[in-house]
Amino acid sequence: MQPYWATHFMLPGQEHSQAQAVGESLEQARESVAAMVGCDPFEIVFTSGGTEANNLAICGQLSQAASARVPAAAVPLAKRSRAVSSALQSHEKTTVGRIHVLVSELEHDSVLAAAFSLAGDRVDVELVPCQENGVVDPAQVESMLRANTRLVCLQLANPVLGTLQKVREVADICHNRGVSVHCDATQAFGKLPVEVSQLRADTVSISGHKFYGPKGCGAIYVRRGLHLSPICHGEPREMGLRPGAENIPACIGLGAAAHLASRCESEVSDNFAELSDRFLNGLESSLGKSPILLADGSPRIANTMAIEMPCDASAIQKAARQLVFATAQSAEPPDEITRSLKAIGRTETQIRRTIRISLGWTTSRDQIDRAVSLIADACDTVMAR
Amino acid sequence: MQPYWATHFMLPGQEHSQAQAVGESLEQARESVAAMVGCDPFEIVFTSGGTEANNLAICGQLSQAASARVPAAAVPLAKRSRAVSSALQSHEKTTVGRIHVLVSELEHDSVLAAAFSLAGDRVDVELVPCQENGVVDPAQVESMLRANTRLVCLQLANPVLGTLQKVREVADICHNRGVSVHCDATQAFGKLPVEVSQLRADTVSISGHKFYGPKGCGAIYVRRGLHLSPICHGEPREMGLRPGAENIPACIGLGAAAHLASRCESEVSDNFAELSDRFLNGLESSLGKSPILLADGSPRIANTMAIEMPCDASAIQKAARQLVFATAQSAEPPDEITRSLKAIGRTETQIRRTIRISLGWTTSRDQIDRAVSLIADACDTVMAR
């Protein structure tokens, strides 16, 4: 990224050979991201992160249907890209009556908030419950589809439980009914190979900093032929879906991270499995009892574990400050950890005792052993009180 | 910015002393931006750039009024910040009937596109013409205000002509009538001191890379007490106005750039005046005739010049590749340069002959002389054909 802050500071749209070179680097970065997800480069749109990607997928598909305004009136100076024009046409066909959106209850705040921002007298948003194993049942989704369902949102990997959702099965069911599927896969990249040809979702969100790319940068896969409208307005860039000067250094960084992730996702995945076993076995030995790994037995990304402890998790956190992990917060509305744990039927007490811990590419066996010892010591301290 | 990519990689919301340190650095950056614009830190919201800031100012104030949906239905899981709740309340009071928005015709694409994206059966958007001197007449704005006008958008400095708009006069007129003012000041920061207490606008857009800050980062000043709703949805961050993981390195960079700009804006402004005179005088000597500086005599940022040449500007551009400047493009819809030049009444031929050139902090006298010589040689070549 470094040279793109200062030396190669131009923007692709400018009239200069250096600007063209920057444009070529940007397109190479797009190709690296496309290679990671197995799509064509023009199906990748750079965003400012996963939250914007989720909002673009959801509001970009549905906001015009949710609104009473006549979008054709927005023409005079606003530049209408082909994508926008097509979206307006498809909108004109379908605005009669209400539309329906299904969102899994395990989704990230940005997915839920984007969907519920549209809810009102034209859009119904309904939550799809997940099973106690942390997986949404595709048959459940199917049973909730209505004639006017337009979109189903289902994440790939849950950031709290690590559970993998059956996105492909759901997508096949939905596509048979003419329903689009948005998959927030931000938590999965860099942890296991993700191929959109396998997922079959129409839009897929990517967040740079979740797989060692830069903060402030993400991307969205938009299936060729899918009509989205931009959620931010201005000069048409990024296939007409995202205006504003391109964040060149960050896009270059995202491309590099994608290249790295493509090369090591399989290996990393095996490593996570070994290290998480070592962690759980270590905890069992130290605590003298088997720790409860939630959603154990479900397909999961092995690096992400929600573990029920024998005592209060926030007390453990206070007693093991050197170790960074997450616990449920008593906030209103509930935080993501509380929501995910409630979704699989955990009680308030169980939720208060649960830690969410994750491993990274560079996590070593020594670090695992140290983490076990810190947690075990903290539990001793807490339980001795 | 460097340490925040890797060493200080945590996010402010995380539970760790390092995360808290990162949060403190973020707030220091916010203070630096606030010091540059002369406001309180909590009136600064970081965004992904000027385009997002303009969209947030406009759509964040008006999108609910533009929509027929009942926003209160969006409650269940979407987190409603205080700002959002207040916006909903104020919305409920004012949705009866249509609303009216005035936008100067000199505005950036993102301002125009954001405003026109709302146009429809509930929102009227009207363009305010500018005078031949490149300045919008406050009396003109006043004459166009209607009883249902909610917002006036007026930039501070025009990126093509360099003209400074009478934002304060317009804001005083508008506030007397209960109308908000959005000021896109992205082009002015780093070129002259900008104080919101002087501008009196309700929202002011800031773009990092326009004053040597990082790409992919900007900010918006939101006057204390003004109710905006977020345009992107998720966990409430940035005063509830911008969700998503904070782009910490970029915000740190923006803070540093703001600090630098605050210190040198006056000095830089004098330097620009000297260098632009040298440039114009140089052109006059070399070309044997006085170059036509557009909007000459109007208050301007001296670094930004639109100059009418004796021959075709794109031909000059091709003959002087080492020099980077902009010309009008024959695009539909018209590009920003064409729009600004048309707005001050230039003919097609005059527009084709106009170059837009800008000076930077590091521009030297030698570079000015070299630029003059490149342009003069290019003009000779073009006119000898």
- How far away is chain B from the Cα of A193, in angstroms, using its nearest Cα? 24
Q: Using a CB–CB cutoff of 8 Å, tell me whether B77 touches chain A.
A: yes
Residues of B in contact with A244 (CB under 8 A): 48-52, 110
Residues of A in contact with B109 (CB under 8 A): 79, 234-235, 243
- How far away is chain B from the Cα of A60, in angstroms, using its nearest Cα? 11
B217 plus B298 within the same structural domain: no
CA atoms lying within 13 Å on the CB side of residue A334: 17
B174 plus B247 within the same structural domain: yes
Give the span between the Cα atoms of B351 and B343, in whole angstroms.
11
Bridge partners of A219?
A46, A206
Counting the structural domains of chain B, the total is 2
Q: Which of B226, B261, B296 is the last residue of a domain?
A: B261
CA atoms lying within 13 Å on the CB side of residue B78: 28
Give the span between the Cα atoms of A276 and A268, in whole angstroms.
12
The identity of residue A74, as a single letter, is A
Give the span between the Cα atoms of A72 and A75, in whole angstroms.
6
A28 plus A59 within the same structural domain: yes
B212 plus B330 within the same structural domain: no
A101 plus A197 within the same structural domain: yes
B55 plus B86 within the same structural domain: yes
| Lookup: tokens for B48 | 């992904």
pLDDT digits (tens, 9 = 90+) for A278-322: 999 999 999 998 889 999 999 999 999 999 999 999 999 999 989
B67 plus B205 within the same structural domain: yes
- How far away is chain B from the Cα of A63, in angstroms, using its nearest Cα? 10
B232 plus B210 within the same structural domain: yes
- Of A93-102, A314-323, B45-54, B295-304, least confident by mean pLDDT is A93-102
**Average pLDDT along chain B:** 91
B88 plus B157 within the same structural domain: yes
Q: Which CATH number goes with the domain that contains B48?
A: 3.40.640.10
pLDDT at A96: 57
**How confident is residue A130, by pLDDT bands cut at 50, 70 and 90?**
very high
Give the span between the Cα atoms of B33 and B196, in whole angstroms.
12
Q: Which of B261, B286, B301 is the last residue of a domain?
A: B261
**Residue A48: closest CA among chain B residues belongs to which residue?**
B48
A273 exposed, middle or buried (CB, 10 Å; 0-12, 13-18, 19+)?
A: middle
Q: Using a CB–CB cutoff of 8 Å, tell me whether A112 touches chain B.
A: yes
A210 plus A182 within the same structural domain: yes
| Cβ–Cβ gap A116/B74 under 8 Å | yes
| Cβ–Cβ gap A247/B216 under 8 Å | yes
Substitution target from B18, B52, B77 for chain A, most A beta carbons within 10 A: B77
| Residue B348 belongs to domain spanning | 265-384
| Cβ–Cβ gap B116/A74 under 8 Å | yes
pLDDT at B333: 85
- Residues of chain A with pLDDT > 90, as a percent, come to 83
B106 plus B243 within the same structural domain: yes
| Cβ–Cβ gap A116/B76 under 8 Å | yes
ipTM: 0.91
pLDDT at A71: 43
Is residue A170 within 8 Å of A138, Cβ to Cβ? yes
B62 plus B186 within the same structural domain: yes
- How far away is chain B from the Cα of A324, in angstroms, using its nearest Cα? 7
pLDDT digits (tens, 9 = 90+) for A334-347: 999 999 999 999 99
Q: Which CATH number goes with the domain that contains A289?
A: 3.90.1150.10
- In angstroms, the Cα distances linking A110 to A47, A152, B28 are 14, 15, 27
B296 exposed, middle or buried (CB, 10 Å; 0-12, 13-18, 19+)?
A: middle
Q: Which of A261, A293, A323 is the last residue of a domain?
A: A261
